[in-house]
Amino acid sequence: MKQLVILSGKGGTGKTTVAAALAHLASQEMPIVLADADVDAANLELVLDPTKREELKFMGGQLAVIDPEKCTACGICAEVCRFDALIPGDEAYRIDSLACEGCASCFYQCPEEAIRMEEQQAGLWFRSDTRFGPLFHAHLFAGQENSGKLVTLVKQQARLRALDTGAAVVLVDGPPGIGCPVISASAGMDLALHIAEPTVAGVHGLERVMGTTGHFGVPSLVAINKADLNRARCEEIAAFCAGRGVEVVGRIPYDDVVTEAMVQGRPVTEYTDGPVTEALKEMWSRVRDLILSDGAGSVKEVQR
């Protein structure tokens, strides 16, 4: 069983579009399991039409809670809090639950023992079925911490299902950026497929996210989306990849059918034939060969 994560440093470059297309193409050839690791803005469900089989609570972490009866408004809690999470009051202090990071510093320092720590539900996660295979996805409540923990949970569940059912590939739709959810999404992956767009911001984002996956030892492949938008930037990405020994496995042209397919709630490869679908099919066959023929190992060798 192999695991592939789809990433991009910059947001909106087409991760989910590619993930949905690969889910469609891969599922025609082998059993797969899907995971949406963009837990604060999960979109894969919008094009895979999942049937939710199970909905579970995600307990993210804890928050401080003040008992106003016991609080004497001495202010020690506010002095020790580094996150500005205490709101002063004349008779009792209150906790700003969005600012509180659950460190419990106030809990240990409160002389009146007026503070307790409470576990908080930070989101939901789901086991679903789609026409391409099982999907594990989640919804982190707005502004919650611990997105990395929820990403790890969703990924682990997908992996366990794949091991149980003998699926060949786990396909993970990753979050944007380079921070904790991206690090969590990349951990243990056999390959990272970076979706880059040929813009100055896209090139910059690609460099940073490839730095991140490289730092954690995950080998990279690159696909350029909207490749015909700016040929010069496209070549810049290709040259950058060549310099790192990273293969560019696809160049997907700009086409409004991508948005049309999204509006119809379908993967673009399922919605229409045409240049975008052709490019995605070609890309999938290369990615499949690399990840299944223990290509992941050889990709890693090249990148060393």
Interface residues toward another protein, by CB under 8 A: 8-13, 16, 38, 40-41, 43, 46, 61-62, 80, 82-83, 98-99, 101-105, 108-109, 117, 140, 142-145, 147-148, 175-183, 197-202, 204-205, 208-209, 211-212, 215-216, 229-230, 232-233, 256, 259, 262-263, 265
* Cβ contact 73:98 at 8 Å: no
The CB-of-210 to another protein minimum distance in angstroms stands at 9
The CB-of-150 to another protein minimum distance in angstroms stands at 10
* Cβ contact 272:257 at 8 Å: yes
Please give the structure tokens belonging to residue 84.
Answer: 């500005």
Please tell me what DSSP assigns to residue 253.
P
Q: Of 84 and 164, which has the nearer Cβ to another protein?
A: 84
Query: From CA 150, how far away is CA 94, in angstroms rounded?
Result: 28
Q: Of 179 and 297, which has the nearer Cβ to another protein?
A: 179
The CB-of-54 to another protein minimum distance in angstroms stands at 21
> String of b and e for 282-296 (b: at least 16 CB within 10 Å)?
ebbebbbebbeeebb
Query: From CA 100, how far away is CA 139, in angstroms rounded?
Result: 20
Query: From CA 177, how far away is CA 267, in angstroms rounded?
Result: 24
Q: Which of 215, 153, 208 is nearest to 184 (CA)?
A: 153
The CB-of-216 to another protein minimum distance in angstroms stands at 7
The CB-of-212 to another protein minimum distance in angstroms stands at 5
Q: Of 3 and 13, which has the nearer Cβ to another protein?
A: 13
The CB-of-230 to another protein minimum distance in angstroms stands at 4
Please give the structure tokens belonging to residue 46.
Answer: 């919008």
* Cβ contact 77:87 at 8 Å: no
Q: Of 145 and 190, which has the nearer Cβ to another protein?
A: 145
Residue 123 burial by CB count (10 A; 0-12/13-18/19+): exposed, middle or buried?
Answer: buried
Q: Of 161 and 230, which has the nearer Cβ to another protein?
A: 230
The CB-of-262 to another protein minimum distance in angstroms stands at 6
Please give the structure tokens belonging to residue 301.
Answer: 């060798």
Q: Of 29 and 118, which has the nearer Cβ to another protein?
A: 118
Q: Of 12 and 297, which has the nearer Cβ to another protein?
A: 12
* Cβ contact 213:7 at 8 Å: yes
Q: What one-character-per-residue DSSP string does 102-154 give? A: ---HHHHH-TT--EEEEEEEEEEEEEEEETTEEEEEEEEPTT-S-HHHHHHHH
The CB-of-122 to another protein minimum distance in angstroms stands at 10
Q: Of 11 and 297, which has the nearer Cβ to another protein?
A: 11
